Structure 1
Amino acid sequence: MVEIKEETFEVDGRKYYYYPLNKILDGKRLEKLPRSLRILLESMVRNLDGRSITQDDIDAIVNWNPSNVPDKEIRFKVSRVVMQDFTGVPAVVDLASMRDTVKKLGKDPELINPQVRVDLVIDHSVQVDYYGESFAIEKNEELEFNRNLERYKFLKWAQKSFKNFRVIPPGTGIIHQVNLEYLAEVIFDYEEKGKRYAYFDTLVGTDSHTTMINGIGVLGWGVGGIEAEAALLGQPITISLPEVIGVRLHGELNPGVTATDLVLTITELLRKVNVVDKFVEFFGPSVKYLSVPERATVSNMCPEYGATLALFPIDDQTLDYLRTTGRSDHKIKLIKKYLELQGMFGESEGVEYTKVIDLDLSTVKPSVAGPKLPQQRLDLDQVPSSFLSSVESNSDSHLVSLRKVPLKLKGQDVELSDGDIVIAAITSCTNTSNPYVMLAAGLVAKKAVELGLKVNPKVKTSLAPGSRVVTDYLTESGLIDYLDKLGFYLVGYGCTTCIGNSGPLDKDVDEAIIKNNLNVVSVLSGNRNFEARIHKDVKANYLMSPPLVVAYAIAGNITINLDKDPLGEVNGKKIYLKDIWPSNNEIKDAVNKYVKKEMYEKRYGNITNKRWESIDVPESPVYNWDESSTYIRNPPFFENFKLNELISTFSVKGAYPLLILGDSVTTDHISPAGSIPKDSPAGKYLIEHGVKPEDFNSYGSRRGNHEVMMRGTFANVRIRNLMVNKEGGYTIFIPDNKEMSVYDAAMKYRSMGIPLVVVAGREYGTGSSRDWAAKGTYLLGVRAVLAKSYERIHRSNLVGMGVIPIEYESLNPQDIDFTKKIDIDIDGIDPGSKARMTYTDKNGESHTVPVTLRVDTPAEADYIRNGGILQYSLRKILSSN
């Protein structure tokens, strides 16, 4: 194991220790290595222990060859974890359960704390119920607290009880914007055992758009809940050794072109060249022309173009941004000094990439994306035809006749038509983090109001910034008054419309849409526009910059060509987009005049919320579980936990298949996130516990209750179990040859002590990295999953829950006689151990075939021996104390 010696440097008389990269790789080889891989390398060297991080991990980076990247997994440790409230609650529930277990063992429950810094930002719960009035934000926040008080009480307890754990309360902003403006360290300044260390800020977040932080040069991306729990408990993150794609930027954006137009262009471009699961780095002569908020917008939509991360360099622009957002002078000096020592300040010359893609910024045009995918980029004059071609019609041509329905709305006689915009939302950290586009939206509103333009009453308008600083500079500039006059009143500080929390439409509007099956539209400054995501009754959704949201809200219908058609007519005068669009100089002047360092210092110097502060919970080392709660319950992951008893037998004998599945089964098939049907096992459970169907909420909101989530496992209405002749969460309980729900069958098997397996085809567990897809599988009693191949994160999550992932070569799942038991003989659990599966085919013949354990590293073998990563971490913490 190579030992890299620490070196020191000083900033303002303070001595810092660090691990110099040029002592691992000589200058020329280091210069060729992409900066993202250099950051991984530093983390690996600093955390090298021979078990969780090995010399093999370091060698994989040191020997990285852009033209020949091997299929290999590597591990590294992050410096911190960020969470939002939907995905963060189940992780905190697990920590609370660990404390209970420690107390039962007669030890100090306060030994259980996150091992790295964790920030949980509450931003996913506010909904746009009220809008178009000055009181909207107050009413929406009141409703938010009423709906979520049970969850908020739990998080308030966690904030009081755990070290290294901080909650950013509701009404502060959106996780990624708060991360950018406040949480990010860029370079960590950390004291340990009397030494002060400097090292790269790295993180994972329980939200896919965590990549926004790449815009200030910080390495981070989104992961599932189990991976995040592993990280916060000090365990490594596992990823495939990546290809790194370089995107060379040259030229300059033309006047009137925004960062939103740029990111939609990049999304279209990179989707075509396929950067899925690859690292992307931006470089070239024109990086310096992009402000940090513009870079952050580009990095934010990294999941939409499919990459793992989208990293920008740290340069003088970055330091200026950090200074403006309130970082200390010492911090900025530290960042620059450390990066200079590591050869990573500013543009890196001579980096070798797997592939280089060129983009001339001068070719970017004003853009919109839709109607159903973020990569469906359109020039403004293409928007009308994109909508018309998507409308369901018997006509073969694009000359579809748009239906119109008379409607009385707010005392006015109006018509509701196909193509009408019914939601116009300035929303999402993607754009509200960028003062240039936010002040541009205010300037568009000002000019529109002064020219007499108005927004049609059928449009639901909203302004939901990702931080309170946005309101400060819009107020200081006076532009918020003009947004108000057009109906864009402040509705809350949170994700809102971007994640589908758009709230109800006007009742009369919604009834007219449903009754006439109208194809209506939303326009938003968000990052995703999948069908029915924004609102279940809105079929077409278009992504665009905030000033374009204002313009389209005034136009009122998506079939208007903003390039040449008037937005409206006042006193016989036609008014066009060019008449209200501000010049670049107007926007820059507004940013320079109204965006002030003091605003950031004030807002982040004292983060508070009156309603949050009024939540009174006792401070206690263990959580007082409410047995009547249907949102937060103590999970049974540690039910039979014994400190010194590890699993020693891994073979699975006499198992029945719970399900036999085909190819490409997604994590959404395994653990749905949406609505809970009342006749499902989860729905029946909630009704039995006094919850009315209209109050079910979603599976996603009840992730802190294992009783709901395990009943929802394999309960997707579209899952296809080959053991039964219908779709949905059904199986055969083999001892009785009786069809029943997957959950009911699993509980009957458990009562009889019969182990279970799941058999599947290729690409098992694709889709989002949903932790409950693995947790639910474990709680149903599944000991092993047999599949032709796995999606990387789900395989890792199964291991994290102590479920053994196994791959077969020559088996066809449909050939298995599922009425006969299956044996899996496993010689050992270390990587490379042998295993055999014995099954009976439909002709009654027995077969024994070799299978491959997908327990890929010594650390993963430890997780399996311990019954899962939570149990492993608990034993490790207790043994070291």
Structure 2
Amino acid sequence: MADQALKTDPFSARDTFDTGSGQAGIYRLSALEKAGLAEIDKLPFSIRVLLESCLRNCDGYVVREQDVKNLAAWSPATAASGEVEVPFKPARVVLQDFTGVPAVVDLAAMRSAMERLGGDPKKINPLVPADLVIDHSVQVDYFASDAALDLNIELEFSRNQERYEFLRWGQEAFDNFRVVPPGTGIVHQVNLEYLAKCVFLREDHAGTVAVPDSLVGTDSHTTMIDGLGVVGWGVGGIEAEGVMLGQPIYMLMPEVVGMKLTGELPAGATATDMVLTVTEILRGQGVVGKFVEFFGDGVAKMSLADRATIANMSPEYGATMGFFPIDEETLAYLRRTGRTEEEVQLVERYTKEQGLFVTESTPPPTFSEVVELDLSTVEPSLAGPKRPQDRISLSAMKSTWRHDLGEVFNKYPADGSPQGRWEGEGGQPIEPGAAQPDPAVAVADAGFDGVEVFWEDKQFPLAHGSVVIAAITSCTNTSNPSVMVAAGLVAKKAVERGLTVSPQVKTSLAPGSRVVTDYLERAGLDEDLEKIGFYTVGYGCTTCIGNSGPLPEPISGAVEEHDLVVSGVLSGNRNFEGRINPHVKANYLASPPLVVAYALAGSVDKDLVRDPLGTDSDGAEVFLKDIWPSHEEVREVVDACVLPEMFQAQYDNVWQKNPMWNAIEISGGELYDWSETSTYIQEPPFLVGLPREAQPIESLVGARCLALLGDSTTTDHISPAGAIASTSPAGSYLQANGVEPRDFNSYGSRRGNDRVMTRGTFANIRIRNQLAPGTEGGVTRYLGDDKNEVMSIYDAAMKYQESDTPLVVLAGAEYGTGSSRDWAAKGTFLLGVRAVIAASYERIHRSNLVMMGVLPLQFELGATWQSLGLTGEETFAIPDLNDSLEPRQQLTVRATSPDGKSREFLTQVRIDTPVELDYYRNGGILQTVLRKLLDE
């Protein structure tokens, strides 16, 4: 290692510059241009940041000189080739508690394994700074009350005591690891408002050096920080652990799509409407696995909060990230959010020295392709009923809802298309019927007039389309003062006109940080929101992650008894089926002011453009346009009420601000004291009994299909985050261990316990496994005997393990869409699945499968399990799977049907890089890193 360290800075790029507070080192990209290796001005800004990392970390060992040269030569053609590998060493890691707890569990397990193998446990320690923000554990149990916040926090600490004790241990046991306590805010908003610096000062072999802020995070919406000019994206927890332990992220050189934004938002349109439009366009364009970089005069006129809103939803349009380079608005935002003038000067001087700063005269770089959007064409919109890319114009919402509801009850699309908005996702596409029904008739036949419900001394109708959840929630929108203030102004005008919220609506306000409460209070809008039921319920990721809490029993009972398709409207980024609430099938993403409007309307079967929301105290009709604020009204409040001192006050000593967190007692030293009786934290089996040397890759023979899935199977389908059903395998396990259903908490909160999470894999209540047609939920047919018995996927997997039968999963396109959920790969592995064969993969989940030692295979272009005539009843073999495996090679799969007939089909190995192959050979990234540390 010492010899390799001598090769640092082979391009003589290290220089110094004036930070405004003294001299610091800089690795100048211009040195590569002087050497004839790059034309820096033509490189996308996001590529320049990756290049600086390669240049600064080039040691001829982990990052080679050729890696720098390859990236410096980026062009649309080389990126499109899919052949050039790039190492990236981010400056830091960000975690949230749902994904952060299992990451810390794995680090603790690595320490235990290191000791068992005779190594030094202290070697398992973050080498790269890591911050964990506890934001995913608060649930909306209490609402519409000024006591809701305190009661929800008390429940949060009661439910999560074991998890919080464990995280407190990790905070003390590991270096370079900080924890932001519960009740502070949503991880991405805390990152945007406080953790991110745009440029850091660090130490290298020659002293202080300026480093562009960059990160990976264990949440797919880590991309929000791209709006601040910080390169960052979501990865699975296992990949983040590798980064924390000093491993680079290896990726194929990305294509960079330029999106040119022109014009300005028209009256009535919000940043949420803008991002739903961008999501629709880019998802249709096909940007999965690519970088998107925004430019144009529309960007220059856009607030940084609006940029962050667009960047946040990169996972929804499928991009690795959506990047906005640093400019004057970035510097202004840093000042508005209370960063010091010294920090702002460092950012400005460094980025201008390095060619990372954009001005009006900066020519756009070269992109792989360019997409354009005139922002003046954006109109008020929602997205749903279960996918964020399915945008609906507000003016078309009622007719679209009725069309979609017709699909539900007629079981095929009313427009005769082969796949509807409801069926198909996570299941087999529905074939069109012979006749085309009238959706309005289908709605009436479904009992649209509804039923009468009694709750809290109120009687009200509940029908298809009734809004039962209206939640101002999620990092996407609660970080943006313009839409939060707009929601408050809608509430204010509604109160002034005497409008009230329908009694069946569960209203909630979950600000992304306490600063939001400060500026709403300063504007006096908090009182108006509360008057129509939008009390603060917590500071964290609530309804959007599935922590919506239960509906009142009379409402949920009526939904079940009458099979009602009720609705949720939330200012979130995810509305996948089964995610938001088990009783709410239709969920629509909308801006915070539209959430308030639909709470007032009480139903999505209402045309908010043409129909009145209600009548005022004088009996006059009140329309949405009557209470909708203008851009000027919103801007005046934001300018007057969002102040730098609010950010400074809320983030001052943020690590110690929660007294309930500080009071948690911790025990243990460098090794965690695992408890067999814990139902939250268990030592995972990945590293138990690990041999020092990797074992040979073996062929797959006699494998059975565990699940046969359709297109767009999400990580929510594979590893749900929300409620645990009492009748599920996970629920049975918890009850057998003395946990009452009221104390189950959620799958997300139980991710430190593999025994719960393995039982919860493929347990989403809406997943449709075509191996057991006509069913819904986590069931399959067990094919190990002649009974073909239908049972839970977990029970079937355990029976297959008893006979040493390996398993495969067959899936359609976009397998693993959605959250960066490492348990979707961990649970798959622990069920005994050796390979997944899909038509295509979403980026993060494919990577996570490899990092857990599960082989991702992809059908040849255009082929599917349906087109190949596969039923899932076959036995599968991959005879040529052995130690000669290469990245992206072709492998033949042999499927033998029950009648003994065999067919073969080609697949591509989706192990994309040599480093990923190294992970796979070792059985996963944790095993790879552990063995390397043992050998040092």
TM-score where L is the length of structure 2 = 0.84
Counterpart in the other structure of 1:503: 549
* Worse-superposed segment, 40-49 or 685-694: 685-694
For 2:154, the aligned partner's letter is E
Counterpart in the other structure of 2:653: 606
Alpha-carbon distance change, 656 to 597 in structure 1, aligned in 2, over 3 angstroms: same
Counterpart in the other structure of 1:36: 46
Counterpart in the other structure of 2:627: 580
Counterpart in the other structure of 1:146: 158
- The equivalent position to 1:4 in structure 2, one of 6, 11, 18, is 11
2:932 is aligned with 1:876: yes
Counterpart in the other structure of 2:379: 365
Alpha-carbon distance change, 190 to 701 in structure 1, aligned in 2, over 3 angstroms: same
2:587 is aligned with 1:541: yes
Alpha-carbon distance change, 729 to 708 in structure 1, aligned in 2, over 3 angstroms: farther
Gaps of 5+ in 1: none
Separation (CA, whole Å) in 2 of partners of 1:853 and 1:504: 43
2:187 is aligned with 1:175: yes
* Worse-superposed segment, 272-281 or 154-163: 272-281
Counterpart in the other structure of 1:390: 404
Counterpart in the other structure of 2:486: 440
Counterpart in the other structure of 1:468: 514
Deviation at residue 460 of structure 1 after TM alignment? 1.9
For 1:316, the aligned partner's letter is E
Counterpart in the other structure of 2:198: 186
Q: Secondary structure at the match of 2:576?
A: coil
Counterpart in the other structure of 2:24: 16
Separation (CA, whole Å) in 2 of partners of 1:816 and 1:360: 47
- The equivalent position to 1:83 in structure 2, one of 82, 88, 95, is 95
Alpha-carbon distance change, 47 to 721 in structure 1, aligned in 2, over 3 angstroms: farther
Alpha-carbon distance change, 183 to 840 in structure 1, aligned in 2, over 3 angstroms: same
The answer (yes or no) to whether the contact 2:97–2:133 under 8 Å persists in 1 is: yes
* Residue identity (%): 52
Alpha-carbon distance change, 759 to 484 in structure 1, aligned in 2, over 3 angstroms: closer
Q: Secondary structure at the match of 1:462?
A: strand
- The equivalent position to 1:767 in structure 2, one of 812, 817, 825, is 817
The answer (yes or no) to whether the contact 1:823–1:839 under 8 Å persists in 2 is: no
Alpha-carbon distance change, 52 to 712 in structure 1, aligned in 2, over 3 angstroms: farther
CA offsets 1:123-144 (integer angstroms, 9 cap, x no match): 1111111111111100111111
Alpha-carbon distance change, 663 to 41 in structure 1, aligned in 2, over 3 angstroms: farther
Q: Secondary structure at the match of 1:245?
A: strand
Counterpart in the other structure of 1:71: 82
Separation (CA, whole Å) in 2 of partners of 1:539 and 1:867: 39
Where in structure 2 are the equivalents of 1:410-489 lying within 5 Å? 410-489=456-535
Separation (CA, whole Å) in 1 of partners of 2:812 and 2:459: 56
CA offsets 1:780-834 (integer angstroms, 9 cap, x no match): 5666778898765455434423456678989989699978997657355676999
Deviation at residue 513 of structure 1 after TM alignment? 3.3
2:158 is aligned with 1:112: no
Separation (CA, whole Å) in 2 of partners of 1:435 and 1:252: 18
Q: Secondary structure at the match of 1:826?
A: coil
CA offsets 1:86-119 (integer angstroms, 9 cap, x no match): 1111111010111223334555433321121111
Separation (CA, whole Å) in 2 of partners of 1:651 and 1:553: 57
2:753 is aligned with 1:702: no
Counterpart in the other structure of 2:558: 512
Alpha-carbon distance change, 578 to 762 in structure 1, aligned in 2, over 3 angstroms: closer
- The equivalent position to 1:686 in structure 2, one of 734, 738, 751, is 734
Q: Secondary structure at the match of 2:297?
A: coil
Separation (CA, whole Å) in 2 of partners of 1:213 and 1:575: 39
Where in structure 2 are the equivalents of 1:606-625 lying within 5 Å? 606-607=653-654, 608-618=657-667, 620-625=669-674
For 1:435, the aligned partner's letter is P
Alpha-carbon distance change, 740 to 457 in structure 1, aligned in 2, over 3 angstroms: closer
Where in structure 2 are the equivalents of 1:719-738 lying within 5 Å? 719=769, 728-729=779-780, 731-732=782-783
Q: Secondary structure at the match of 2:550?
A: coil
Counterpart in the other structure of 2:680: 631
Alpha-carbon distance change, 97 to 843 in structure 1, aligned in 2, over 3 angstroms: same
Separation (CA, whole Å) in 1 of partners of 2:320 and 2:531: 41
Counterpart in the other structure of 2:251: 239
Separation (CA, whole Å) in 2 of partners of 1:189 and 1:813: 58
Counterpart in the other structure of 2:217: 205
Separation (CA, whole Å) in 1 of partners of 2:652 and 2:933: 34
Separation (CA, whole Å) in 2 of partners of 1:856 and 1:767: 18
Counterpart in the other structure of 2:413: none
The answer (yes or no) to whether the contact 1:760–1:813 under 8 Å persists in 2 is: no
Alpha-carbon distance change, 544 to 776 in structure 1, aligned in 2, over 3 angstroms: closer
Q: Secondary structure at the match of 1:24?
A: helix
The answer (yes or no) to whether the contact 2:254–2:290 under 8 Å persists in 1 is: yes
Q: Secondary structure at the match of 1:286?
A: helix
Deviation at residue 510 of structure 1 after TM alignment? 3.0
Deviation at residue 466 of structure 1 after TM alignment? 0.3
The answer (yes or no) to whether the contact 2:858–2:908 under 8 Å persists in 1 is: yes
Separation (CA, whole Å) in 2 of partners of 1:626 and 1:256: 56
* Worse-superposed segment, 474-483 or 548-557: 548-557
2:106 is aligned with 1:94: yes
Q: Secondary structure at the match of 2:305?
A: helix
Alpha-carbon distance change, 406 to 751 in structure 1, aligned in 2, over 3 angstroms: closer
Separation (CA, whole Å) in 1 of partners of 2:207 and 2:341: 22
2:863 is aligned with 1:863: no
Counterpart in the other structure of 1:553: 599
Separation (CA, whole Å) in 1 of partners of 2:114 and 2:889: 33
For 2:363, the aligned partner's letter is E
Alpha-carbon distance change, 830 to 7 in structure 1, aligned in 2, over 3 angstroms: farther
Deviation at residue 731 of structure 1 after TM alignment? 4.3
Counterpart in the other structure of 2:170: 158
2:544 is aligned with 1:494: no
- The equivalent position to 1:276 in structure 2, one of 280, 284, 288, is 288
* Worse-superposed segment, 27-36 or 290-299: 27-36
* Worse-superposed segment, 24-33 or 361-370: 24-33
Counterpart in the other structure of 1:303: 315
2:368 is aligned with 1:354: yes
Alpha-carbon distance change, 46 to 755 in structure 1, aligned in 2, over 3 angstroms: farther
Counterpart in the other structure of 2:416: none
The answer (yes or no) to whether the contact 2:185–2:514 under 8 Å persists in 1 is: yes
Separation (CA, whole Å) in 2 of partners of 1:667 and 1:50: 40
Alpha-carbon distance change, 814 to 55 in structure 1, aligned in 2, over 3 angstroms: farther
- The equivalent position to 1:230 in structure 2, one of 242, 245, 260, is 242
Q: Secondary structure at the match of 2:273?
A: helix
2:354 is aligned with 1:342: yes
Separation (CA, whole Å) in 2 of partners of 1:839 and 1:572: 70
2:575 is aligned with 1:529: yes
Alpha-carbon distance change, 437 to 756 in structure 1, aligned in 2, over 3 angstroms: closer
Deviation at residue 258 of structure 1 after TM alignment? 1.9
Q: Secondary structure at the match of 2:538?
A: coil
Deviation at residue 758 of structure 1 after TM alignment? 4.0
TM-score where L is the length of structure 1 = 0.89
Alpha-carbon distance change, 780 to 548 in structure 1, aligned in 2, over 3 angstroms: closer
2:618 is aligned with 1:571: yes
Separation (CA, whole Å) in 1 of partners of 2:612 and 2:787: 70
Separation (CA, whole Å) in 1 of partners of 2:194 and 2:611: 43
Separation (CA, whole Å) in 2 of partners of 1:667 and 1:40: 29
* Worse-superposed segment, 28-37 or 710-719: 710-719
The answer (yes or no) to whether the contact 1:17–1:196 under 8 Å persists in 2 is: yes
Deviation at residue 605 of structure 1 after TM alignment? 0.8
Separation (CA, whole Å) in 2 of partners of 1:554 and 1:840: 58
